[in-house]
Structures are given as structure tokens and as C-alpha cells.
Structure 1
Amino acid sequence: MTLNRRSLIGAAGLAVTVPALQVARAAETAAPAAKSTTPPPPVTKILARWIQESSYDALPEAVRREGVRSFLNWVGVAIGGSHHETVDIAVSALQPFSGPPQAGLFGRSERFDIMNAAFLNGVSSHIFDFDDTHLKTIIHPAGPVASAILAYAEMKPVSGKDFLAALVTGIEVECRIGNTVYPNHYDAGWHITGTCGPFGAAAAAAKLMGLNDEQTAYALGLAASQPVGLRESFGSMNKSFNPGRAAANGLFAAILAAKGFTSSDRMIEVRRGWAQTISTKQDWSQITDGLGTRYESALNTYKPFACGIVMHPTIDAAIQIRDADHVKPEEIRRVDLKVHPLVLELTGKTAPKTGLEGKFSIYHAAAVAFVEGAGGEKQFSDRAVNDPRVVALRQKVFPVVTPGIDPAQVDMTVTLNDGRTVHRRIEHAIGSVETPMSDRQLEAKFLDLADGVLPQAQAKRVMGLCWSLPDLASAGDVARAGVPGA
């Protein structure tokens, strides 16, 4: 069942010849482009038509397979995060105001109306920062889309094939829109998962609801009116709020549009529309080129480490040195890291006090990897962040911004107390497009996340349903199987 990612990309009509993050950030130093006087193409209508025309049968087999992997990974992280304090607070706050009990929450017994269920599963799936990542934009694609349409699928039966087609369609829409404005939009301070996620959720929900072209364009327009999330929220509960709210906002948009609630059918592209309001960059070809033949979902990646993606090379290097070179934490005098500017911009917290803050500390990431030899959710807990051994070692971590280092790379030199040095340079960390997690590794991650939440037999049953998604008569069976006692 292990995939060859390069074969997968080729089957989807893609060719990756350089690291995806390097391409995505290449425009960072370029001067802002002058506003074009050429009218933009009608991308809102183009997307609306394509959403209607997309289908399970039209998807390349490799893209279907990656869609299933995305879904499996999302279900695993949603189960794993279901009893985090963040979710407990959100459930307690929203329960008195919930409507009919239409949909469940992974790992919990409570049921909510589909809008609140979409929000809560979206929060749960992102709280560990362990969900999937589209490296070209740093969007976490599945959370907003899957959270929205699985809640809908519990209320209105949907076949597994139709669900998978809608999931891939939603991921494609949000990532293409993200490509259009990245990195300028992200650099301005927007959390791109929260701003592009409503488009993905709205597109997928519109697909399942059978909206026509006009209604779908209105759903996209209503999604455009609901961007959510600022990067200042990183390291707090608010970060996971963003994909949860994006899921609910997109579902909300499609439900309104289905009843005839109107919007502009040019909301994405026009002068005072979404893209030109929230970004200084608009590359419309990123939406239109290869639509339906080149799939962004084939570039989705899955995290082996529960933290910001730019820290993964450092954790990978530290674990390699710890295990292969038998370096013990107490033997380390200093750890020098050569990194891209984005690493310190996103993960420069020098003294995190909570697990959520630790997910954005390159100092903690390096230290905990040496101390515990791992980078899962347990290594980004309040316990790990305040472990005296980790606190002491992170004082010896010295990241330096270095020309020629890509965001997906790190150059690590460890100096030992006896003067010896050990070196690692990571070009492609595990979990990247070039070094993807295998199916077996995804399964191990899933079961580890479910441990303590669901009995192992039940977790394996849910995992089996995820793998067999295209064959299910009702996609909602996955949600129903993922609650305690099912």
C-alpha cells in the first residue's frame, strides 16, 4: 500500500523538480508588481462551473488515493485532539446554544447541529498542529473541508465516492485560491488556512448539495465575505479556532446559497473583491491553469511531528544525530542551526511556557528531539515544554538565518562537551513531498493519536472505514464509528 510520491505526482500531471517551499517563497524579495490594467478573468464563475463538472470518475486514481490518505490523516488528528482543553472549553461554551443533535464529534459523546459540529471537529483536528499541509501555501487543507462535509453527511446520507470527490474538489479550490495570493497575503499577517478554508468548505458542500452554477458562485462569494484568522493567534487556542470557523463559514455559505441567498458572482477577482482586498499579489493563472487535469491535492503532505512545518527538518536532524551518532543531551555544549528567515519569523519563541507555544519554538523543537527522540503531540505538551532537561538544552540552541538555506532545509552542527562536532544537513525532512510518510506510518500515527481516546479495536475499525471510503454506502458511517462506545 506504500505510495511512490513521484509516481503519484506524475499521474496527476505534475512535475516537482525543486522543493515546493522554495518555489512558493521565491517572490519574497521581488518588488511588488504594479496593478494590472487588464481585467481579471471571471475566476469565481470558472471555479463554480468546474465544481459542478468535477466527479469521482474524473479523478486520476493517484489523486483519489491521496484524497483517502488526507481523510485518514484528518480523522486521526481529530480523534487525537478531541479531549484537549481547547475542545473541552469550546464544547462547554457552545452546548447551551446548539441546535438539533445532527452530527457527532470524533472521540466524544456529545452531538451538535451540523454548523457547530463542523466547527468543533475543525478545532479538534488542528489543535495539535499535526494535520496535513499543502507546502506551497502552508494551508492545512483537509480540516476546513472534511469538517464541514462530514457533518453534512451525517444529516444527509452521502456515498463514499461522492464524499471523496467533494473532498478533493474543496481541497483543490482552497489551495488554488491560496496559490493566487501567497506569499504576500500570508506575509501581511493572515492565517491562510482560515482565509482560504471557507472556499474549500463551501465548494465541497455545494458539490454535495447539488447547487447549480449560479448558486455555487454565490456560495463562493459568501465564503469570500468570511475570511478568518490572523497569525498573531499562533501559539494559542485561537489558531485552531481558525480552521474550525472556516469549516462552519463555508458550510454556512453553501446552505444560504442553496436557498437563494445571493452574493456577487465575481467576489474573488474584482477590484473590491477578496483577492485584491487582502493581498498585493494576484496570480489568476494559479486558479485557471490545468484546472481539472493538475491536482494540488497530489501535493498534500502529512506531518510526522506535531508542530509548525518549518521545524520538521530540525527535529529530523536532531533525532538522526541522537540515534545514529548516539549523542546524549547531557553531552551537548551547543546546537548551531542554519535556517531560512521564515523559521525564526514563525517559530522564534525562545521561552515557551505552554505546549501550544512550544509548537512555535525552534529552540524547544531541537531540545525536545534530543531529549526524547520524538516530536509527537506528547513532545509539545505543557509537561514537555517545562521539563528541566528540555529547558536547559534549549538555552544551547542557536539558530542563525543563512543565505542559501530553503525553508524546507536545515544545516545542524552539534558541538559536544569534549570538543567533537556532529553535523547533519536535511534537504527533505520525513513527511515532505520528496520523502512522504508511507501508509504504514500514517496508520501508526493514527493509532498513536487514538490511544487513550478509543479502544484499539474501535480505532482500527475506524481506520479501516477511512481506507475503504470510496466503497462506503454512507460516508457518515465514519463519523458514527468514531464516537465512544460505537
Structure 2
Amino acid sequence: MDTSLTAELAQRLLTDTPTEQERAAARRGIKDYLASTLPVLFAVVPDEGRSAVLATFDAASSAENRAVVLGYLSHALDYDDYHAAFRGHPSTVILSSLFALCQHFDRYTPTDFLDAYIIGVEIAGRLGRAMGTRHYSMGLHSTATLGPLAAAAACCRWLRLEQTQTQIALGMAATQSSGLRAQFGSAVKPLHAGLAARSAVNSVLLAKAGFPGQVDTVVESFLTVFGFNVEQPGLLLDEWATPWRIIQPGLEFKRYPTCGGTHSAAEAAFVLRQSCLEQGIGDICQAVTRIEVSFPPGADTAPNIRMPRDGVEARFSLEYVIADGLLNGCLALDHYTAKPVNEVIAALAARVTRCPDHSAPADELDPDRRFHRVTLHLSDGRQLSHCVTRRETVSLYTDVEQKLAMSLALLPVSLAAQFSATTSLDNSEQLRQLTSLLCI
């Protein structure tokens, strides 16, 4: 009898063991998770949803509620890591689920924790490949839809469930999959991460407790239903862990607190700002009459907000990000929180026009070939233009240590020191302390 896809997936995620190379990458992912989480966790930056989430989900009452809270907080700034094949943010769901279960079961073995995280990232990347390109383009948010399965896989590994229990848990996570990109630019987007983490945790807890469910066919059905006829189920297992997905293509760590689909446009704007300064153009607002941004058709699917009202919406606005980059040469976190947009930046953003380049292949076909070309039309008739590709953006190194240090600097010194003492995860006590610090 042929082994089902669900069964083989469960068998591999429970038995394959990463190496120290993958664990080093996982430690870096955890530092990025903390850098993205701490400013909202301790309310040192404004966030519209934090109070309601904390009031609604009592994190001390259950692992499911802790998962919701941590998932929301870690994705609230949209500053957390991204995985290209997953086309979403894996760590916010996976680590939030794992930290929630750490405290629930009082288990703090760092190597097992890291291996479970690595397994979760492996499943996330493989689900993205197997699902194909239409899942996201049809309006589904991969963090919310694929995230529950990836996180459930990590949790099954962490708790060492039996294979049948793991298959049932994966099926229950799949059947809870939901999340629409229409919520981008609102607090519901990070709530997607929290709800996905909750789905993973309750699926695993139910399976561990002996709850029955379909053992086979659910993961296969999930790919068929949500693949929109371009799914490739074979890619879910093909060339498993050669290399591990946390290594290649690896986690992408954000340098800017905005949608990843704006980053190459921002970097083009930085270059153009420097060109203006070198040419003696000090007042960009006065010198620039209009701005064009071109990109492959569909490459603005995620950053689709043209006139943002606040910093949360501005994260998903090509116009605002380009204007901010031109005026300030950086994208400050303070510009992308729950505060009204800066009027000067918004005024320049109003001069930006989107011009899809129809000579380029559609973004859906190969998002890695995305580019943004920003062109400034100056009042004296001249044009300045610069193009940055996604591949160029991804190739730049992100200093996660510095990113974490910047977040820690926002906290009281004693609290920052407590977190700093845990981040290497060298022993069980560090994992215990880190989990305790995160579970407010």
C-alpha cells in the first residue's frame, strides 16, 4: 500500500535531525523575532490592537491564548522575517506557538526547541512551493493560511507526538486555515498570525489528548482546494532538507518596518536622494514635480494602499515609502506605527504614480524577478531614475544583532539586560527565562 503524502510528511518531520549550521540560523531567527516583538510587547511604540488583544485573550489562562497574544505582538510592526517560498512570515506563527507550549508543558530543552523551529520553517517553505503562485495572488494571506500547518508541524516535533497524532494535528490545522490579504494595513493582519498560532496549538493539544480526525488525505485536499490548479504536491517532499529551508533560501530579515514589497522601491529612493544632494538639490519637495514607480505587473499586490491615513497603512504604500526615502534617506520605525501620517511625506507621496511595466513578466510567475524603478521628474525638465531589483535587496546583509539592540534600547535598562542574557539559548535556564519574559 502506498504511503500517503500526509503520512510521509509526518514521518519526516518527526525523525529528520538538523545540524549545528541550521541551529545557528534558528538562533538568528529568534533574535529577529525578539527585535520585532519587544517594542509592542512592552508598549514602547503605539499600536491600536494591543490593548484589545491583551484584554480579550488572557495569556496566563491557556497555551492557545498565549499563542494568539504572541503571534499578534510579534507581527504587529510587520518587521518580522519573511520566507520567499512561503510568501509570508513563518517565525511569527511558529515561534509564538512554540513559546506558548514551552510554558504550558514546562519543557525547556534548547536543542529540541531549535530543531522544532527549523522543522516548522522547512514545512513553511515547502508548503509555499507545493501550493504554487495563485494562492497568494487570489487574495489569501499565506502567514494565516499556511502558517497553522507549519507551526503545527513544529509543535508536533517539539512535543514528540506519535506519527498518527501528528497526521491528525496537521489535518486539524489545515481545516482551520483562513486569512485574507484584504486586511492588510489594519490590525487584523497581525491578528492573522496570532489566530494561526492558536490554530496550531489547539490542533496539537487536541491530537495529543486523543481527539480523532482524518489520518490521511487532508493535507492533500488542502493543496488541491487552495492551489487553484497550479499546486504541485510532489514539491512538499522532494529533496527534503537538501539543504534545509532555513539555510536556502533562508529567512529574510527586514531592514525596514514596512511591507517587503516596498523595500527595493525604498532603496531606489535612497539612491535618488543621494543623487539630488550631490547635484545641489536641497529641497526635494520643491524640485520634484512628479514621481513614477514602475514594476512588473502585479508586483504591487501587497503594497496596495495609495493614500494611507496612518503609519500602519503607510507600511503598505509604495507612494509613502518612496516619499519617505526621498525626504529622509531612511524609513524610521516611528513613521510606521499607529499615528497619523506625516503631512510633508504625504504631500510628496501624492505626486507618485504607479506605472506597471508590461514588458516584464507578471510578478505572479516569478516574484524573485521583481524590481522597482523610481523616476523623478524635476521642475527644470530633467529626469533622474534608478532601479533596484528584489535580488539586490535580498543580497544585502541585515544586522540582526543591531536590530535587536535597537529594540532593547527602547526598554528599561534592567529589562533589556534580562533579555540580553537569554538570547544565545545555550542552556535550558536561558530558554526558561526567555519564555517567562515573553509571557506577560
Q: Which residue of 2 aligns with 1:51?
A: 13
CA deviations 1:239-283 (Å, max 9, x no partner) are 11111111111011111111111221224444xx21112222221
* Partner Cα distance (1:462, 1:323) in 2: 37
Q: Which residue of 1 aligns with 2:270?
A: 319
CA deviations 1:195-222 (Å, max 9, x no partner) are 1111122111111211111111111111
**1:338 is aligned to 2:333:** no
Give the letter aligned to residue 183 of structure 2. S
* Partner Cα distance (1:175, 1:290) in 2: 13
* Partner Cα distance (1:431, 1:250) in 2: 32
**1:137 is aligned to 2:86:** yes
CA deviations 1:144-197 (Å, max 9, x no partner) are 110011111123222111110000111111221122113111122211111111
Change (3 A) 1:382 1:79: closer
**1:80 is aligned to 2:48:** no
Q: Which residue of 2 aligns with 1:410?
A: 372
Change (3 A) 1:204 1:474: farther
CA deviations 1:442-478 (Å, max 9, x no partner) are 12222323443x2245335424522x12544452321
* Partner Cα distance (2:39, 2:163) in 1: 38
Indicate conservation of the 8 Å contact 1:199/1:224, yes or no. Answer: yes
* Partner Cα distance (2:426, 2:233) in 1: 32
Q: Which residue of 2 aligns with 1:106?
A: none
Indicate conservation of the 8 Å contact 2:86/2:126, yes or no. Answer: no
Q: Which residue of 2 aligns with 1:18?
A: none
Give the letter aligned to residue 465 of structure 1. T
**1:387 is aligned to 2:342:** yes
Indicate conservation of the 8 Å contact 2:292/2:354, yes or no. Answer: yes
Q: Which residue of 2 aligns with 1:401?
A: 356
* Partner Cα distance (1:477, 1:43) in 2: 38
Q: Which residue of 2 aligns with 1:459?
A: 416
Give the letter aligned to residue 445 of structure 1. K
Pick aligned residue for 2:73 from 120, 124, 130: 124
* Partner Cα distance (2:82, 2:384) in 1: 30
- 1:465 is paired with a residue whose SS is coil
Q: Which residue of 2 aligns with 1:426?
A: 388
Structure-to-structure mapping, 1:153-232, within 5 angstroms = 153-155=102-104, 156-232=106-182
Cα drift, residue 416 of structure 1:
2.5
* Partner Cα distance (2:125, 2:390) in 1: 22
Cα drift, residue 337 of structure 1:
1.4
Q: Which residue of 1 aligns with 2:222?
A: 274
* Partner Cα distance (1:388, 1:60) in 2: 50
**1:445 is aligned to 2:394:** no
Q: Which residue of 2 aligns with 1:241?
A: 191
Q: Which residue of 1 aligns with 2:56?
A: 93
Change (3 A) 1:445 1:225: same
Pick aligned residue for 2:4 from 21, 42, 55: 42
* Partner Cα distance (1:215, 1:144) in 2: 21
Q: TM-score, normalised by structure 2?
A: 0.89
Q: Which residue of 2 aligns with 1:114?
A: 63
Cα drift, residue 345 of structure 1:
2.5
Change (3 A) 1:203 1:474: farther
Indicate conservation of the 8 Å contact 1:150/1:475, yes or no. Answer: no
* Partner Cα distance (2:254, 2:393) in 1: 5
Change (3 A) 1:342 1:321: same
Q: TM-score, normalised by structure 1?
A: 0.81
Q: Which residue of 1 aligns with 2:26?
A: 67
- 1:342 is paired with a residue whose SS is coil
Gaps spanning 5+ residues in structure 1: where? Answer: 1-38, 102-111
Change (3 A) 1:120 1:199: same
Cα drift, residue 75 of structure 1:
1.4
Q: Which residue of 2 aligns with 1:364?
A: 320
* Partner Cα distance (2:2, 2:139) in 1: 25
Cα drift, residue 399 of structure 1:
2.0
The percent of aligned pairs where both chains have the same amino acid is 23
Indicate conservation of the 8 Å contact 1:316/1:430, yes or no. Answer: no
- 2:292 is paired with a residue whose SS is strand
**1:435 is aligned to 2:392:** no
Cα drift, residue 134 of structure 1:
0.6
* Partner Cα distance (2:402, 2:417) in 1: 10
Q: What is the count of residue pairs matched by the alignment?
A: 420
Indicate conservation of the 8 Å contact 1:339/1:400, yes or no. Answer: yes
CA deviations 1:20-39 (Å, max 9, x no partner) are xxxxxxxxxxxxxxxxxxx9
* Partner Cα distance (1:472, 1:431) in 2: 37
* Partner Cα distance (1:275, 1:463) in 2: 41
* Partner Cα distance (1:147, 1:254) in 2: 14
Give the letter aligned to residue 416 of structure 2. A
Change (3 A) 1:51 1:399: same
Give the letter aligned to residue 317 of structure 1. A
Q: Return structure 1 stretches of 4+ with deviation > 6 angstroms.
A: none
Of 317-326 and 203-212, more deviation after overlay is shown by 317-326
Pick aligned residue for 2:237 from 288, 302, 306: 288
Indicate conservation of the 8 Å contact 2:335/2:342, yes or no. Answer: no
* Partner Cα distance (2:393, 2:206) in 1: 38
* Partner Cα distance (2:123, 2:351) in 1: 43
Indicate conservation of the 8 Å contact 2:57/2:66, yes or no. Answer: no
**1:146 is aligned to 2:95:** yes
Indicate conservation of the 8 Å contact 1:169/1:204, yes or no. Answer: yes
* Partner Cα distance (2:316, 2:3) in 1: 38
- 2:377 is paired with a residue whose SS is strand
Give the letter aligned to residue 232 of structure 1. A
Indicate conservation of the 8 Å contact 1:368/1:390, yes or no. Answer: yes
- 1:293 is paired with a residue whose SS is coil
Give the letter aligned to residue 222 of structure 2. W
* Partner Cα distance (1:266, 1:210) in 2: 19
